[in-house]
């Protein structure tokens, strides 16, 4: 086995409310592909960001070729040959491919002018080494995602990186593009580069990686050689628990009172004839890949976006003109997917966020009833176990899991008859996830209809009473969770298979 | 709990600490500063700048800005004197007309901003030019006059237990109190903070953010009309260029007062501190015989230093 080019020893890192990494060891040797696997929130990205200099560890050592380093910035890590390619690329859309590759390090002529011929020549040779053909004069904005990824890799190489980290590269490319990514990774490996490949997709790991380090809840489970192990073992290490234990069980009642129905809801190029019903007391899971139109269905139900055609009926009444205000009045709650951007007003306190959608009820004439509001805030914080020094704390100081509870509390305050949750557990730690599941089931048992959008298949299968699968703006079919397998859902979500849809019933 | 309170109100605390230091140093450097006459004068001066800065606080809190505020000041001043022309019986109808016109301008600003999504900077910059052009078509030189009773607005005094308090200051205090109540206690005030903090969240929480913005810009223009009317009373004559300096001067106290240009954070409490820092600074420099150009430099430095202080502690 080759020399360890990187050694990370006993790395710990905590964020407010979460211990993201707990004494994790990680080694990588020259000319190998190392995978880091684990569920969302296992600490993969945090570990890599520490190596890349974006975070500083609370504890632990980083050794490069046996020498101890501590990086204060990504730039310092880059100087020592460490590059990272994030899921969101760091490219300037309006600059060309070659300009992006050498951004900030442009070859210059005298007087500070950019030496364009030289720039293009050097970019060209980098891309040739990678075996990639991209027109260097194109703006990055005009490239596809896969090509942008190649540009990022070329940029890393231009920095003379020995260690290239890729954070969930397969989240943005798939199929043929993924194959060519793998081809490039193999080329890099032959040239002696070390690749650290972060993913939660097992198949890829066995295809490309030599070794895999499994993380779970911020702890190192084990590092194994992919040739000595199999998929099932890795999955067991990742999950580390019996799936059914984590979920609070299925719906108890069997009553079928229709709360909401969508008929041929259509938005140009985004939603195609989406029809389904939701019943009180059930959790309806909507599965699908990113971009399948799941969030758009949620926004349509909530009245956040206008429809081109189709109709939505709530409690037997047709909704004429949807708007968030009317939806809230009629009891629809919407926990949005992107907590950081459209979940909370970060500059407002916990209390003020909790009552933002029900101020009409808390005010008397025009004045907000302070005492009433504080009471609601305190009750909510207690009910949902929101951990904060005070309900007057601004929500931006709360941990992700607690922010999520504030969002949920805000929507439960409207006494929803329907609650739409878009990726309710994304990015929160495992403990908070469990609490979230219990809360959701409790609400459903209380009669609320819950629509849960999720990309995590085991969550969809574990939580839902019925599962709808979407692909490309369409409902591909409905599956009962007892018959559902992750593979089966994925076949529909990727559009390779169609289940029984409403129309065929 | 206590440290939480300090942390939450740290921006406002900093403003008032700066203000206290400023008052202390000025009174050490000049004995006229603490004199009754000078203080009365200061309070009298606070009103015109005060109104527009309070208005501007609303727009900046909502993550916008109103650059047309200065031209609305000029418009209000010129129309008030130009239409009244010394006739007492016209005072009331003209004031109603002027304020109504200002509200209309604010309504148009807010409607364009919320319907098109064009940045407020651009919309109100355009509006500034439109209004200023209109004023200059109406008159190119100071014009009109006001009846004697109108002087009371800027020069009157109210006796409270033998203490003479300038009427404009009372009016200013009244407007400030209403603004604070409006922002801190009413649901509408909360909507302004929410819209400025994160418009999409506010909208998805059932808040009609377009309506909030329209009202915010109407408040801005309304405050500008108050300033214009006050200036008309102070000078007895309307000046078509009198409002020019308020475009930027209205923003300065808001920023010194800790309200963030990105919206959602701050309030009128801080702006009041900012207003007094601004006028005491220029008063002090005046008394120390510092030329106007140095005053500009000093004011510019205060803005940069105070705002960078807030940013630093934010991290």
Structural domains for chain B:
11-308 (1.10.3470)
Report the complex ipTM.
0.80
Question: What tens digit of pLDDT does each residue of A199-212 get?
Answer: 877 778 888 999 99
**pLDDT above 90: residue A370:** no
Within this chain, do residues A381 and A319 fall inside the same structural domain, yes or no?
Answer: no
Inter-helix orientation angle B120-138/B69-84, to 10°: 20
Least confident range from A85-89, A396-400, B56-60: namely A396-400
Percent of chain A scoring above 70 in pLDDT: 93
Quick one: pLDDT at residue A433?
78
Within this chain, do residues A500 and A384 fall inside the same structural domain, yes or no?
Answer: no
Q: In the 8-state DSSP scheme, what is residue B142?
A: -
Closest CA to A274 of A320, A311, A248: A311
Interface membership of B248 toward A (CB under 8 Å)? no
Question: What tens digit of pLDDT does each residue of A452-502 get?
Answer: 999 888 889 989 999 999 988 899 999 988 888 877 887 888 777 777 654
Within this chain, do residues A277 and A228 fall inside the same structural domain, yes or no?
Answer: no
Residue A336 lies inside a defined structural domain of this protein: no
Residue A205 lies inside a defined structural domain of this protein: yes
CB pairs under 8 A between A and B: 82
Quick one: pLDDT at residue B197?
92
How does residue A14 score in pLDDT terms, banded at 50, 70 and 90? confident
Average pLDDT, chain B: 90
Residue of higher predicted confidence among A86 and A401: A86
| Domain end marker among A391, A415, A439 | A415
**pLDDT above 80: residue A431:** no
**pLDDT above 90: residue B75:** yes
Within this chain, do residues A277 and A422 fall inside the same structural domain, yes or no?
Answer: yes
Quick one: pLDDT at residue A242?
46
| Domain end marker among A219, A244, A269 | A244
Residue of higher predicted confidence among A249 and B252: B252
Cα separation of A233 and A230, whole Å?
A: 6
Quick one: pLDDT at residue B67?
96
Quick one: pLDDT at residue A338?
72
Residue A249 lies inside a defined structural domain of this protein: no
Q: Judge residue B305's burial from the number of C-beta atoms within 10 Å of its C-beta, 0-12 exposed, 13-18 middle, 19 or more buried.
A: exposed
Average pLDDT, chain A: 86
Smallest Cα distance from B188 to chain A, Å? 8
Q: Give every CB contact of residue A132 below 8 A, 6+ residues apart in sequence.
A: A147, A150, A154, A180, A184
**pLDDT above 80: residue B265:** yes
Question: For the CA atoms of B222, B225, B230, B235, what is the dihedral angle to 10 degrees?
Answer: 170
Residue A236 lies inside a defined structural domain of this protein: yes
Least confident range from A158-162, B96-100, B271-275: namely A158-162
Asked if B186 and A367 come within 8 Å (Cβ–Cβ), the reply is yes
Q: Give every CB contact of residue B79 below 8 A, 6+ residues apart in sequence.
A: B94, B97, B98, B101, B138, B238
**pLDDT above 70: residue A430:** no
Q: Are A462 and A346 in contact (CB under 8 A)?
A: no
Within this chain, do residues A219 and A302 fall inside the same structural domain, yes or no?
Answer: no
Mean pLDDT over A85-108 rounds to 86
Within this chain, do residues A364 and A430 fall inside the same structural domain, yes or no?
Answer: no
> CA of B198: which chain A residue's CA is closest?
A345
Question: What tens digit of pLDDT does each residue of B96-155 get?
Answer: 999 999 999 999 999 999 999 999 999 999 999 999 999 999 999 998 888 988 999 989
Residue A250 lies inside a defined structural domain of this protein: no
Question: What tens digit of pLDDT does each residue of A250-271 get?
Answer: 776 666 788 999 999 999 888 9
**pLDDT above 60: residue A505:** no
**DSSP helix/strand/coil, A73:** coil
Quick one: pLDDT at residue A243?
45
Residue A292 lies inside a defined structural domain of this protein: yes
User: B202 to chain A: which residues are within 8 Å by CB?
Assistant: 345, 356
**pLDDT above 50: residue A131:** yes
How does residue B310 score in pLDDT terms, banded at 50, 70 and 90? confident
Interface membership of A363 toward B (CB under 8 Å)? yes
Closest CA to A86 of A172, A21, A18: A172
DSSP for A252-284 reads ------EEEEEEEEEETTTEEEEEEEEETT-EE
Residue A178 lies inside a defined structural domain of this protein: yes
Within this chain, do residues A52 and A126 fall inside the same structural domain, yes or no?
Answer: yes
| Residue to test with chain B: of A356, A367, A403, most B Cβ within 10 A | A356
Residue A273 lies inside a defined structural domain of this protein: yes
Within this chain, do residues A29 and A104 fall inside the same structural domain, yes or no?
Answer: yes
Within this chain, do residues A442 and A378 fall inside the same structural domain, yes or no?
Answer: no
Q: How many domains does chain A have?
A: 3
Residue B187 has its nearest CB partner, among A366, A394, A410, at A366
Q: Which residues constitute the domain of residue A399?
A: 341-415
Quick one: pLDDT at residue B45?
87
Within this chain, do residues A176 and A112 fall inside the same structural domain, yes or no?
Answer: yes
Interface membership of A113 toward B (CB under 8 Å)? no
Mean pLDDT over A412-434 rounds to 83
Residue A342 has its nearest CB partner, among B191, B201, B207, at B201
How does residue A389 score in pLDDT terms, banded at 50, 70 and 90? confident
Within this chain, do residues A380 and A503 fall inside the same structural domain, yes or no?
Answer: no
Asked if B264 and A347 come within 8 Å (Cβ–Cβ), the reply is yes
**pLDDT above 70: residue A277:** yes
Q: Give the CATH number of the domain where residue A181 resides.
A: 3.40.50.300
Within this chain, do residues A192 and A264 fall inside the same structural domain, yes or no?
Answer: no
| Domain end marker among A244, A267, A290 | A244
């Amino acid at each position: 086995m080759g020399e360890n080019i990187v050694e990370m020893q006993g790395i710990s890192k905590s964020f407010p409310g979460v211990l993201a990494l707990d004494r994790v060891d990680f080694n990588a040797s020259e000319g190998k592909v190392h995978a880091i696997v684990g569920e969302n929130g296992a600490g993969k990205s945090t570990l890599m960001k520490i190596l890349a200099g974006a975070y500083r560890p609370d504890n632990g050592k980083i050794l490069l070729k046996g020498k101890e380093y501590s990086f204060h910035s990504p730039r310092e890590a880059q100087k020592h040959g460490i590059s990272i390619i994030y899921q969101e690329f760091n490219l300037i859309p309006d600059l060309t491919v070659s300009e992006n590759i050498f951004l900030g390090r442009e070859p210059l002529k005298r007087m500070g002018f950019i030496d364009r011929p030289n720039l293009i020549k050097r970019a060209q040779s980098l891309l040739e080494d990678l075996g990639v053909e991209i027109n260097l004069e194109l703006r990055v904005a005009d490239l596809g995602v896969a090509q942008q990824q190649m540009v990022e890799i070329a940029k890393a190489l231009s920095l003379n990186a020995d260690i290239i980290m890729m954070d969930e590269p397969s989240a943005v490319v798939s199929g043929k593009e993924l194959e060519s990514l793998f081809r490039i990774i193999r080329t890099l490996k032959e040239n002696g580069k070390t690749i650290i490949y972060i993913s939660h997709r097992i198949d890829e790991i066995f295809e490309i990686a030599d070794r895999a380090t499994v993380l779970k809840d911020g702890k190192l489970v084990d590092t194994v050689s992919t040739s000595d192990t199999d998929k099932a073992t890795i999955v067991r290490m990742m999950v580390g628990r019996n799936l059914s234990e984590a979920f609070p069980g299925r719906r108890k009642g069997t009553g079928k009172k229709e709360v909401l129905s969508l008929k041929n809801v259509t938005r140009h190029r985004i939603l195609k004839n989406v029809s389904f019903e939701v019943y009180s007391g059930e959790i309806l899971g909507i599965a699908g890949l990113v971009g399948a139109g799941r969030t758009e269905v949620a926004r349509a139900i909530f009245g956040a976006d206008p429809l081109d055609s189709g109709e939505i009926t709530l409690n037997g009444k047709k909704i004429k003109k949807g708007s968030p205000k009317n939806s809230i009045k009629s009891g629809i709650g919407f926990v949005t997917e992107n907590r950081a951007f459209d979940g909370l007003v970060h500059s407002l306190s916990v209390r003020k966020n909790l009552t933002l959608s029900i101020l009409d009820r808390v005010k008397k004439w025009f004045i907000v009833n302070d005492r009433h509001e504080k009471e609601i805030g305190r009750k909510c914080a207690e009910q949902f176990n929101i951990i904060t020094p005070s309900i007057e704390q601004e929500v931006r100081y709360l941990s992700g899991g607690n922010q999520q509870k504030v969002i949920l509390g805000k929507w439960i305050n409207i006494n929803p008859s329907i609650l739409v949750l878009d990726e309710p557990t994304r990015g929160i730690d495992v403990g908070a996830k469990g609490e979230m599941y219990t809360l959701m089931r409790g609400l459903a048992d209380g009669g609320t209809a819950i629509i849960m959008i999720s990309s995590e298949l085991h969550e969809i299968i574990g939580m839902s009473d019925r599962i709808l699968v979407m692909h490309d703006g369409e409902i591909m079919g409905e599956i009962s969770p007892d018959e559902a397998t992750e593979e089966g859902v994925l076949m529909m979500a990727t559009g390779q298979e169609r289940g029984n849809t409403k129309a065929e019933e | 709990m206590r440290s939480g309170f300090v942390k939450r109100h740290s921006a406002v605390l900093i403003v008032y600490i700066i203000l206290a230091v400023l008052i202390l140093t000025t009174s050490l450097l000049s004995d006229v500063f603490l004199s009754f006459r000078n203080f009365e004068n200061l309070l009298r001066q606070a009103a015109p700048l005060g109104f527009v800065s309070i208005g501007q606080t609303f727009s900046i809190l909502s993550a916008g800005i109103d650059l047309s505020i200065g031209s609305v000041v000029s418009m209000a001043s010129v129309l008030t004197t130009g239409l009244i022309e010394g006739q007492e019986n016209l005072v009331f109808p003209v004031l109603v007309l002027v304020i109504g016109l200002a509200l209309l301008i604010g309504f148009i600003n807010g409607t364009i901003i919320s319907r098109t999504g064009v940045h407020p900077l651009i919309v109100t910059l355009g509006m500034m030019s439109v209004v200023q052009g209109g004023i200059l078509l109406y008159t190119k030189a100071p014009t009109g006059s006001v009846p004697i009773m109108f002087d009371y607005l800027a020069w009157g005094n109210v006796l409270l237990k033998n203490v003479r308090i300038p009427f404009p200051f009372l009016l200013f205090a009244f407007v400030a109190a209403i603004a604070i109540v409006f922002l801190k206690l009413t649901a509408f005030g909360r909507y302004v903070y929410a819209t400025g903090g994160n418009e999409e969240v506010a909208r998805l929480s059932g808040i009609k953010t377009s309506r909030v913005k329209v009202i915010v810009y109407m408040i801005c223009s309304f405050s500008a009309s108050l300033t214009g009317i006050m200036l008309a009373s102070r000078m007895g004559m309307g000046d078509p260029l009198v409002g020019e300096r308020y475009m930027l001067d209205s923003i300065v106290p808001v920023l010194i007062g800790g309200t963030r240009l990105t919206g959602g954070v701050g309030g009128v409490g801080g702006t009041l501190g900012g207003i007094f820092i601004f006028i005491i600074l220029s008063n002090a420099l005046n008394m120390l015989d510092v030329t106007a150009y140095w005053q500009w430099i000093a004011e510019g430095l205060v803005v940069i230093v105070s705002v960078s202080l807030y940013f630093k502690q934010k991290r």
